[in-house]
Amino acid sequence: MAETHTLKTHIAYIIDASSSMQEFKNDVIKVVDNQTAFLASLPDKDHEVRISVYVFSDAHSVKCLISDTDVLRMPSIAGMYEPEGWTALLDATGLAIEDLKELPTKYGDHSFLLFVFTDGRENRSRRYSGHSMAQLLGSLGPEWTPAGLVPNVNGKILMGRYGFANGNITIWNPNSSTGVEEAGEQMKTAIGTYMVSRASGQVGTRTLFSTAPDAVNAKAIQDAGLQPLKPGTYDLIPVGRLKEGQGVLNRDKVRVWEIVDFLKLNGLPFVLGRNYYLLRKKERIQGDKQLAILERATNKVFVGPEVRAMIGLSDKTQSVAADHNKDYAIFVQSKSNNRHLFNGDQILVLK
């Protein structure tokens, strides 16, 4: 009898091989080889992992170096990876998807995980446009997880326009001597989490990467052109423990402040749109709400539409997770007077 429930995960690395990647050549080879070793070391030997490697530069230089090979038989890409030319990212992504879609999936529980890794932006594709790529990705089933590693916030915005889920796009630092290595660790962490999820029955994900430290950091803030608010134009007020009789009970029977009462206690009026609460759990955020970033060490505050793009939010209502970030915190604009504030939080009030 055929083993129809055997887990089979097909992983494709789609790697920028344009001229600007020449300085990272040895690091890229090391990262891909290390990924292979990591996957081969995973304890679940009943979970079959197969790897493909694609590279892209000019449109005529989009290549498949390794096609759907058992991870235990994967060769090194040393001698195969030679950066030169431009950046036909979309054509390479399209080719990888086309090839993987031709694999037989009648038997087994198949899933497809793609990592597109680039230090720049699309500038050379001929077969695919941003629109046609978005259509292609939108047509894929839940067993597909296309992910992107890009060098800056603008790259993240573009990948979102190409149809990549915001939670599957992360930012790496091409200006760091350890940037490629750190990107490899991000992929390794994401793969580890993904494989655990696969074992529990999940086939794909739209939240492969964290949306906090990798997206909200000093470089991302600088790249986005955000400037800190001037001192004296805002207040940051810690939310203290409530005394008996203060506040209200929320649905979890926890006593919390309502924002209007907390401001009144602190001698401040409630002005609609001027108050921002700490994002402390995953929640849906309306498209018309502004966000703010607090730099914890300095209490500097950054506000602007760029903040939404940094954490992968469009101008539509979307969910975002409050991932741990020891250096920065996200605050969300409140448009109600009964927003709950928790002990230990802070509230940001714009004057």
Does the structure show a pLDDT above 60 at 212?
no
Residue 42 amino acid letter: L
Residues 177 and 270 in one domain: no
Residue identified by tokens 């790259």 is 155
Residues 82 and 120 in one domain: yes
Q: How confident is the model at residue 87 (pLDDT cuts 50, 70, 90)?
A: very high
Residue 261 lies in a domain: yes
Helices (H), the chain: 25-41, 89-101, 130-139, 153-161, 179-199, 218-223, 259-265, 306-310
> 324: domain range?
219-350
Closest CA to 114 of 87, 129, 85, 136: 136
Closest CA to 128 of 53, 51, 62: 62
* Contact between 93 and 125 (Cβ < 8 Å): no
Residues 97 and 140 in one domain: yes
What are the tens digits of pLDDT across the range 126-161? 999 999 999 999 999 999 999 999 998 889 889 999
Domain boundary among 167, 185, 209: 209
The count of structural domains within the chain is 2
Residue 214 lies in a domain: no
Residues 179 and 223 in one domain: no
Residues 187 and 238 in one domain: no
Residue 2 lies in a domain: no
Residues 73 and 29 in one domain: yes
Q: How confident is the model at residue 275 (pLDDT cuts 50, 70, 90)?
A: very high
Domain boundary among 209, 229, 253: 209
Residues 119 and 237 in one domain: no
Residue 1 lies in a domain: no
Residue 137 lies in a domain: yes
Q: How confident is the model at residue 205 (pLDDT cuts 50, 70, 90)?
A: confident
Domain boundary among 209, 229, 244: 209
Question: What DSSP letter does each residue of 70-124 carry, written as one string?
Answer: EGGGPPP-TTT----S---HHHHHHHHHHHHHTS--SSSEEEEEEEEE-SS----
